Every structure is written in C-alpha cells, then in structure tokens.
A and B are shown apart, each in its own frame.
Chain A
Amino acid sequence: MEKEPLNNVKNTQKLDEPLIKLIDLAKEFNGQVVLRGIDLEIEANEFVTFLGPSGCGKTTTLRIIGGFVEPSQGDVLFQGQSILGIPSHKRPTNTVFQRYALFPHLDVYDNVAFGLRVKQEMLGRFTRIKDLKKSLKIESNSNGLTKSEFKKLFQNHKQAYLANVQKIKDDMDEKVRKYLKLVGLEGYENRRVHKLSGGQQQRVAIARALINEPKVLLLDEPLAALDLKLRQEMQYELKEIQRRSGITFVFVTHDQEEALTMSDKVVVMNHGEIQQVGTPVDIYNEPVNKFVATFIGESNIIEGVMKTDFLVHFDDQDFKCIDKGFALNEEVDIVIRPEDIDIVEIKDGWIHGIVTDVVFKGVHYEIDVKTNARTYTIHTTDVQPLGKEVGLSFLPEDIHVMERSN
C-alpha cells in the first residue's frame, strides 16, 4: 500500500513532535532477533550517531528509517505520522550507502543530477508538446477559433513551454554545480565514478543525497573505506555540511572516535538493543554499563561494592566518589579512564604497584601498573622506567560507578 509523499503534509506537523520517533522497533530475520525494543527520538537539525560493534543492529535501524527494511514490530513516526508502508522513494530521507552505490554507467554530474531528474519526471513538468497541442485544441474548439488563430496560439504556448523547460534545466544545472562545489568536486563533472578515489566517490555520494534536500540524511558507515587522514578530514567536513544545511544527520559507525567527534547525540547499541543514549560527553564520562565503558574508549573496569552514597569499596579500600542512588552494599562496576589516573610517589598514591609495561602511543605513553589486586592501564605524557614501584592517584569525580551488568 502506498501513501501520499510526506512533503504535502509538512505544514500539519505538530511543533512538539520530534522529527523522527522510533517506537518499540523489533526485527527478526529468519527467526533470529536482530533488533528489539528500540525507542528513540531524533530531533530536527540533530547529528545522531548509532554506535556499536558489527551485528549490533545499527545498520538495520538505519535501513528501517530509510525504508529498505520493514520492521517485524513497532512503528516509525516522521513528524508524528507513521511512515511504515511508504516506499523508500517517497520518504523524506536520503541515504549515503556504505559502499556509496554510485551508478557506474553515469559520470559524476549525472550521478548527482539523478535525484532531480527522476523528480522532474514524477512531477510531470515535462509534459509533451503533443499533449499541449491536444489540450489547446479542445480549448480552441470550444472557443471557435480558426485554424490560423489556433496555430498562432499554439506557437505562443510552445514558446512559453520551451522557455519554461529551458529554465527548469538551467535551474537544475545550477543546483548540481552548487552541490558539486559544496563537496569540493568542481571540475570533476565528466569523470566516470569508478575513476575516482574513495574519498571523491564518497563526496559524490553525499552530494547526490543532499541535492534532494532531504529532511534526514542517513549515512551508513560512509567513512569506513577511507584511510585515517582522509577520514578525519571528512569527519569535520560532514559536521560542517550538517551545520550549514540544517539537515538532520543519522550516522552509523563502529568507530567510537568518529561518533564522539561528530555527534550531538550518540546511541550506543549492542545485541540489537540500545545501551545508552546521550551526548558524547555523557557517554564518555558516565557510561551506564560495562559494555558502553569498554566500547567507548579504553577503561579500567573494576568490580566493587557501593557501601553507601558517595562511598565505594574496591581493591580492599574505600574511596570517595560522586555517585549515589545505589542500594546499600550493591555490587557495582567501576570505570576509571586511563587518562584520569596519575602516577605519583608511593606515599602520595591511593594504591601502589610496579610498572610492567610501557608503550609509546604517539601523543601519550600507555603504562601498565600491576598492583596487588589488578593491572591498571594509565595514559600519561611522562614516561616511567620499567619495574619502578609507583603510587596511583585519582580524584573522586574520576570514579564512575555503574550498575553491574551480567
């Protein structure tokens, strides 16, 4: 069943509705649950990232929004209206596919113009001259025009019509060039797409999607195939494009750095479920469980007991912390980020241990310190000699207490 495209109803949207609302989405493939209980709101102009390991359901969620996969259960609301059952070519979304899916038989220009051209055809603006003549004939017959009068009338209409067609074509051309400029591909109009580098192909894919001025741009790991340097450049460019265009971006990635750099909102997923939704800072500093803590950045994960509010026990010691709201003596997981631990003199540290490993990582050293209870990983710019006994210190706010997950 096909419904009307949503462009016609955009004025009827309620202002308090989020742009996209996922309600209790679930998906099964051949009896295997790949997605369950997905509830999420995406606001207009937001840069939202689905982050998770491969097979976590992030791409499936994106494909459900784009209309390529039907969910087994649940609903997708766009500005308060369900878009399930609307085919992808009528949805207000455009997609940048993982391997770009550029049309190999078209050059860069034609790839970018593709969306505009099919839309022109759909709107039927290019009505045929023959049809024009027919409709004029009916009109003139009822008005009783002579043949020569009709001919003149037809010529006038034809001129106006052709001028109109030319204008549409010119507008289209201008727009294509504008978007090619936006992604920095001026002068590449006539290149075959398979002759382009990965980064250039990716830009074509972005321009091709953006030119349709979607309400939402879906990006399925678009940077995965690029090398590190280019990836970092594209991260900033994408963010910049998003800011300038005001289009909502929904971005899928397994790269935590990418997610943290670009997003307004990160949705961490695992095993088909949402683990945590929050700003990059929230996700990094206050992970809700062990999975999020380990997936986002490196962590020291410690099992401990929450004695009372603001007091946590681990490694045979009590530590002050800033977390509260747990049950008395509840078993918890504790995260301390490697860069939050300071290496100090033994007497100044909470705990002490021996340096067992030092790895140079470029910006910092990664140092393993073996204590009685465990080995801590520490990131610091100061190198320590192997085998040295050192103290470790951290502040109460560096201790992040999470519910124990199984």
Chain B
Amino acid sequence: MKPFVISKPKIKTKRKWTFEGFLGVPYQAVIGFLIVIPIVLMLIYSFQSRASSQTFTLIFTLDNYLRFINEPIFVSLMAESIGLAFVATLISLLIGYPLAYIIARSNTKTKTLLILLITAPMWINMLLRTKALEQVILMTAPELIGTNVAIIIGMTYVYLPFMVLPIYTVLSKIDMSLYESASDLGANKLQTLIKVIIPLSISGVLSGIMMVFLPSATTLVVPKYLGAGRFLIGNLIENAMIAQGDFGYGSSIALLMAGLILIFLYLIKKVDKYTEGGDE
C-alpha cells in the first residue's frame, strides 16, 4: 500500500483577535500586573542590599540569601514550617479522603448538606475562626497553646475543606459501574477502594495536598494565635517586610521558600502517573 503523504500547505498565519483571545485579556492583565511584575520586583529586591534599595542604583549582591542561610535558627525555622505543614497535610488527607468518599457515595440530599457543612466555616473570616479555636483550646486544654499540636490542629482545621473538595470532585466523577465491576470480579469493598478508587482519584488527592500544604507552610495567623506568638517562616517574612521594612531580606526568604515548595510539588507530581493518560 502506498502511504498517504499529506503535505502541509504553508500558510502565513496572521495573529487575529479571536473571541477566545479576548476572553483571556482580564486574566493576562492579572497575571502581568499582580504576578509577573511583583515577582520580578521581588527578585530584584532580593539581590539588593538594604542601603542600595533606598537609592536608585541597582547592584547585585547575595547578602540577603547569605544572611538567611548563615542564620541556623532561620533555616531550622523553615524546616519546622515545612514539617508542621507536612504533618497537617497528612492528617487532613487521612480525615479528608474518607470524608470525601462518604460524601461522594451518599444520596443527593445528604451530599448537598455535607458539602454545605464543610464549606460553611469558609464563610467566616479566617482570623476570627483561628481566634475562636484558640479560645476553645484555652478552655479545654490550655497547655497545648504554643505547642506543635495546637499549630497542627489549627492548620488542619483551617485548611481541611481544601483537601475534601478536590478529592470529592474527582470521586464523584468516577463511574458507579466501576464499583460494581470491581465487586463483580470478586473484590470486596476495601480491595475496590485500594485497587480501583484510590488510583483513579490520585489527581484529586494531589491537588488537595497542594491546596493544604502550600498555605499551611506559609501561614501567619495560625502560629500567631495557636503558637502563642511563635515564629514560623510566614511570620519571619512578615517581620522583615512590615516591621523592619527590609524588603530585600523578606523577598529572599519568600523566594527560597517558593523554591523549596516547587521542588516538593515536582516530586509529588511524579507520583501522578494516571492523569496524563486522560480521564474519561
């Protein structure tokens, strides 16, 4: 058989304003003004020394980074922040996955109610909620305030909905007949969960992990109230930026943190084998 050869005619494509292109304008504006420019500014700041940032001369110095890395307390603070966020994420996952599974498998009425209950706390200001949780802990177990336990409870409490919702979304999209066919082939409910449902919901789990881990690692409010004013990395940045006005130093910490988190995300993404195959 003679193979088909389709020669692509070379047409000069002129960029045209399409409707879809137009829809993207607001987002591009947001990206440009609120994300790209600030990050570039942060990058520039982080390489300025404190003195130079007041004048308009641009210099290049690693002072800010070196200052952070040479301060063992700060580095351990960063490790501590990530560690606490990791534990909180793990606990959120252990609570959130079964919860999402229950919601996805219940009838429409219960589903709506449970989703409402889970999202309800998000309607209230986070600061107030943290403050309220502080009061509850002060009333029931005051010795916990300032410990890792209290901080982890706080992080879990505040960010749990962000774990449940993406997992629920993915679970509710799984075809009911897959539960049936697994059972039909001899798998009990636990085997079905482990062999079919969890692999199919990995993408939801991963986005849940990101949505809990990222804000937990940089949270300001939780350590402030539940940690009895303890410093985590978020507070350190706040202190450098707001209290001392040292933008260069604050920026460098933030960028280091961002870099670390990026590495984490990359590692997590590697676990996600299924999603590139494309969902149905």
Stretch at the interface among A113-121, A136-144, A177-185, A335-343: A113-121
Stretch at the interface among A8-16, A100-108, A277-285, A359-367: A100-108
Could you tell me if A101 and B177 are in contact, using CB atoms closer than 8 angstroms? yes
The reply to whether the CB of B181 lies closer than 8 angstroms to some CB of chain A is: yes
Interface string of A69-105 (1 = CB under 8 A from B): 0000000000000000001111001110111011111
B144 → chain A closest CB, angstroms: 38
Q: Given A192-B277, A194-B280, are A89 and B180 neighbors across the interface (CB < 8 Å)?
A: no
Size bracket of the B interface? 20 to 34
The reply to whether the CB of B71 lies closer than 8 angstroms to some CB of chain A is: no
Could you tell me if B279 and A118 are in contact, using CB atoms closer than 8 angstroms? no
Q: Given A104-B280, A121-B191, are A208 and B200 neighbors across the interface (CB < 8 Å)?
A: no
Bound: A93/B181 CA distance, A: 11
Bound: A99/B178 CA distance, A: 10
The reply to whether the CB of B239 lies closer than 8 angstroms to some CB of chain A is: no
Q: Given A104-B280, A121-B191, are A97 and B180 neighbors across the interface (CB < 8 Å)?
A: yes
Most buried by B among A67, A94, A105, A115: A105
Q: Which residues of the other chain, A, contact B195 by a CB distance below 8 angstroms?
A: 114, 117-118
Q: Which residues of the other chain, A, contact B274 by a CB distance below 8 angstroms?
A: 104-105
The reply to whether the CB of B139 lies closer than 8 angstroms to some CB of chain A is: no
The reply to whether the CB of B188 lies closer than 8 angstroms to some CB of chain A is: yes
Could you tell me if B200 and A104 are in contact, using CB atoms closer than 8 angstroms? yes
Could you tell me if B196 and A118 are in contact, using CB atoms closer than 8 angstroms? no
Could you tell me if B178 and A103 are in contact, using CB atoms closer than 8 angstroms? yes
The reply to whether the CB of A236 lies closer than 8 angstroms to some CB of chain B is: no
Interface string of B258-275 (1 = CB under 8 A from A): 000000000000000010
- Residue ranges of B at the interface with A (Cβ–Cβ < 8 Å): 175, 177-178, 180-188, 191, 195-196, 199-200, 274, 277-280
Can you spell out 29 A-B residue pairs with CB atoms less than 8 angstroms apart? A66-B184, A68-B180, A68-B184, A87-B183, A89-B183, A93-B184, A94-B184, A94-B185, A95-B181, A95-B184, A97-B180, A97-B181, A97-B184, A98-B177, A99-B175, A99-B177, A101-B177, A103-B196, A103-B200, A104-B200, A104-B277, A105-B277, A115-B185, A115-B186, A117-B195, A118-B185, A118-B187, A118-B195, A121-B191
